[in-house]
Amino acid sequence: MTNKIPSKVKSRYFQPPKFSDGLRRFGLLAILAYFAGFYLMGIVASDESIRKAAAKHIPISPAPFSLQGSPLELAQGVHSLFWHYLTHVPEQCSDSSRAVNNFQRLQCGEFWDRLSELGWVSSIPFLFSLGFLFFALDGVRQRFQKARRKINQEKSTGLAIVTDPAEASPDRISWWYGVQPITVQVADGKQVVAYLPPEAPVPPPGEKVALYEWGKIGGQKRFFAVLYAPHVAVLQGG
């Protein structure tokens, strides 16, 4: 009896996570990251250079605006001001041929500079939210790739027996990576929690699984498990 996993089945484990799955899992946290970025936007907007840019009088552009108040009020002010200027671009600036003299061209340059400065401040919440999603999904993808490499290189730490009950209590790791925690007993009789790939069914108590070291997650050594070869062969045939 071999403990090797058929090559055709290896590719079925730890498939790269779909964006839609990650969005469902991390969507709420991404919204929280957006609001954290929104508050930071207000702090950045309290800088004197930003307030001067918003209050600067440019005759050719819409009326200037005075930014003041708490960080949340400043953030709301910058956000509203940027979209107001973006949707009220002077005709002389949207079409350079309409500028009648160099003075108007100079004012257009000042208008675009102000819009650009307010624009990067207004983008902070979006950057926070998208940045969080990127790093969260990329972290899951890299962790899955590491697991696939371990399986392909057959770097199993040995066989383990699924305990009764098989399913362990869900934890932050199982939620974050979308994997199923199970309890297994290793050769020395110690019980450890291992994580099944999303594609693998939970084996019944007493079944054998191949155990792999997944590296440190949250400061602790973690393991993942895949079905032992006889059971994997059944999956391959299905």
- Average pLDDT along the chain: 85
Q: How large is the average pLDDT for residues 48-71?
A: 83
Least confident range from 9-23, 71-85, 134-148: namely: 9-23
Joined together, the tokens standing for residue 195 give 């994580």
Report d(CA 102, CA 176) in Å as an integer. 57
Q: How large is the average pLDDT for residues 119-136?
A: 94
The contacts of residue 165 (CB under 8 Å, 6+ apart) are 183, 205
pLDDT digits (tens, 9 = 90+) for 216-230: 888 889 999 998 755
pTM, entire model: 0.76
Report d(CA 208, CA 115) in Å as an integer. 63
The pLDDT-based confidence of 13 (bands split at 50, 70, 90) is: confident
- Please check whether residue 85 is in contact with residue 61, taking contact to mean a CB–CB distance below 8 angstroms: yes
Q: How large is the average pLDDT for residues 34-47?
A: 93
Joined together, the tokens standing for residue 86 give 């973006």
Q: Where are the alpha helices (DSSP H) in the chain?
A: 7-10, 19-45, 48-55, 71-86, 91-94, 102-122, 124-152, 172-177, 229-237
